[in-house]
């Protein structure tokens, strides 16, 4: 039975992968609709033939890797349970120490290490792909350093969460999901507060914007929007990527507006001011806080469903999965697998909410700057630098895109330009 379940799981993953290969490479049509041909949203008007070809190739492979990576994670955790590795990790942990907390730490390091090894090939392929298409400029040693930082940060985070989670399971078998969610609220807020000043600097160097003339213009824009900003930060990304980006991070007094230095190097002041106005909208309309509220509501539902599904799985397949009790730490891979599945299933909804906020920010930015030419050309340059698809396939947009497609964004700006041309 165990061998049969393993074969079925691998077969299901292979069929899933073949479906998305067929969908992305042979079925999905990323061409610009007829009504947008020749418009400023049509990539043929701002990309050359080679860039168009590279964008199409890169997007297809990158999207395929995305759709393979998350289900591969599910397959990994399922096989870890099915073939008794989780049971072995617990046995090794129990034999290594008599202290419960240390046993949990040892179990976690084994599980984390095997997960890192299993997912490393796909991560490396993704990195190698971005290097091949000249998106990434990051040397392997630097990339590997970031991977190891990710590993230890994730391990440290779960080392805090997992002992508390399983302690709650033992204290309240029916309500642990609710108590765990309540504890997650201050933890989430604390981590978001730390993000810009503790976590992000582990990966890159941040410093106040060097171009003081540009900073004066940005701060004037912030003053116009009633934002009490004193500094704009830039981050050194040119050693890692050719892509452009800007974002708002953190909450409270640690909130920051950040520009990548690649953005500063490749866009002019008017284009940067439009992008900054976009980011300011997220602050003005409190999108970060709405995002936190939405995340917490979804996490409540997610933990409840995880509780129900874990109990069902252990009752139905406990012998096959080598789990006798949900409260045993051997069930942790099952917890990770179910949680990952629920996050993936919820991503079309969370992405839809994010795209709505980003659309609001685009409209806010163009109303504030009233420079449609700078806005349109900034999006065109973003498309060129990242070899992005202007009109992605439907499933890609649903599951991957937290921002509107460039077709939607540029066409909205072009409509604004036409509407206000004679004003």
Quick one: average pLDDT of 184-192?
A: 88
Choose the weakest-confidence range: 211-215, 325-329, 408-412: 211-215
Give the tens place of pLDDT for each residue, 272-294: 999 999 988 988 888 888 988 99
Give, in order, the Cα–Cα distances in Å from 339 to each of 300, 305, 311: 12, 9, 14
CA distance 281 to 258: 14
Which phi and psi (to 5°) does residue 247 adopt? Answer: -160, 165
pLDDT, position 219: 84
Q: Give residue 378's pLDDT band: very low, low, confident or very high (50, 70, 90).
A: very high
Quick one: average pLDDT of 171-185?
A: 93
Q: Give the total residue count for the chain.
A: 423
Q: Is 360 a residue whose pLDDT tops 90?
A: yes
Active site residue 279: yes
Residue with tokens 């953005």: 263
Mean pLDDT, the chain, integer: 91
Quick one: average pLDDT of 127-136?
A: 93
CA distance 310 to 153: 26
Q: Active-site residue among 279, 381, 415, 417? A: 279
CB atoms under 10 Å from CB of 22, counted, come to 11
Q: Helices 49-82 and 85-96 meet at what angle, rounded to 10?
A: 70
Task: Collect contacts of 200-203 with beta carbons under 8 A, ≥24 apart.
Answer: 200/235, 200/249, 202/149, 202/153, 203/146, 203/149
Q: Give residue 233's pLDDT band: very low, low, confident or very high (50, 70, 90).
A: confident
For the four alpha carbons of 383, 135, 113 and 164, in that order, the dihedral sign comes to: negative
Percent of the chain with pLDDT over 90: 65
Give the tens place of pLDDT for each residue, 80-118: 999 999 999 999 998 988 888 899 999 999 999 999 999
pLDDT, position 191: 85
CA distance 39 to 48: 15
Token reading at 196: 């810009």
Q: Is 210 a residue whose pLDDT tops 90?
A: no
Percent of the chain with pLDDT over 70: 98
Token reading at 100: 């419960």
Q: Give residue 253's pLDDT band: very low, low, confident or very high (50, 70, 90).
A: low
pLDDT, position 1: 65
Q: Is 423 a residue whose pLDDT tops 70?
A: no
Residue among 351, 355, 396 at smallest CA distance from 58: 396
Q: Give residue 37's pLDDT band: very low, low, confident or very high (50, 70, 90).
A: confident
CA distance 244 to 249: 16
CA distance 331 to 313: 10
Give the tens place of pLDDT for each residue, 52-66: 999 999 999 999 999
CA distance 404 to 351: 9
């Amino acid at each position: 039975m165990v061998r049969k379940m393993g074969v079925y799981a691998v077969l299901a993953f292979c069929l899933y992968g073949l479906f998305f290969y067929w969908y992305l490479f042979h079925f999905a049509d990323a061409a610009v609709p007829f009504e947008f041909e020749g418009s400023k949203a049509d990539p043929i008007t701002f990309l050359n033939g080679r860039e168009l070809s590279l964008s199409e190739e890169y997007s297809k492979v990158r999207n395929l890797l995305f759709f393979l990576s998350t289900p591969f994670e599910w397959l990994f955790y399922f096989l870890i349970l099915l073939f008794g590795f989780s049971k072995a990790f617990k046995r090794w942990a129990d034999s290594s120490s008599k202290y419960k907390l240390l046993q949990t730490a040892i179990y976690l390091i084994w599980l984390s290490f095997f997960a890192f090894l299993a997912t490393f090939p796909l991560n490396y392929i993704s990195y190698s792909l971005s290097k091949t298409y000249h998106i990434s400029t990051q040397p392997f040693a630097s990339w590997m350093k970031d991977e190891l930082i990710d590993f230890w940060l994730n391990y440290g985070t779960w080392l805090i969460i997992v002992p508390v989670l399983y302690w709650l399971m033992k204290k309240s078998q029916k309500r642990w999901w609710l108590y765990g969610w309540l504890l997650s609220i201050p933890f989430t807020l604390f981590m978001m507060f730390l993000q810009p000043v503790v976590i992000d600097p582990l990966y890159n160097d941040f410093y106040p914007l060097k171009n003081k003339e540009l900073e004066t213009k940005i701060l004037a824009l912030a003053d116009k929007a009633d934002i009490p900003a004193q500094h704009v930060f830039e981050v050194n990304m040119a050693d890692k990527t050719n892509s452009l980006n800007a974002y708002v991070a953190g909450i409270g007094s640690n909130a920051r507006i950040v520009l990548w230095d690649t953005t500063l190097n490749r866009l002019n002041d008017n284009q940067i001011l439009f992008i900054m106005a976009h980011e300011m909208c997220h602050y003005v309309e409190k999108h970060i806080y709405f995002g936190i509220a939405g995340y917490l509501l979804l996490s409540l539902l997610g933990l409840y469903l995880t509780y129900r599904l874990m109990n069902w799985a252990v009752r139905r397949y406990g012998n096959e999965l080598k789990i006798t009790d949900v409260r045993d730490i051997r069930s942790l891979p099952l917890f990770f697998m179910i949680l990952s599945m629920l996050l993936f299933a919820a991503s079309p909804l969370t992405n839809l909410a994010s795209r709505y906020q980003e659309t609001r920010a685009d409209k806010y930015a163009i109303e504030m700057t009233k420079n449609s030419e700078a806005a349109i050309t900034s999006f065109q340059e973003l498309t060129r630098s990242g070899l992005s698809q202007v009109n992605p396939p439907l499933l890609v947009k649903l599951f991957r895109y937290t921002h509107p497609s460039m077709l939607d964004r540029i066409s909205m700006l072009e409509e604004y330009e036409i509407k206000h041309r004679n004003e």
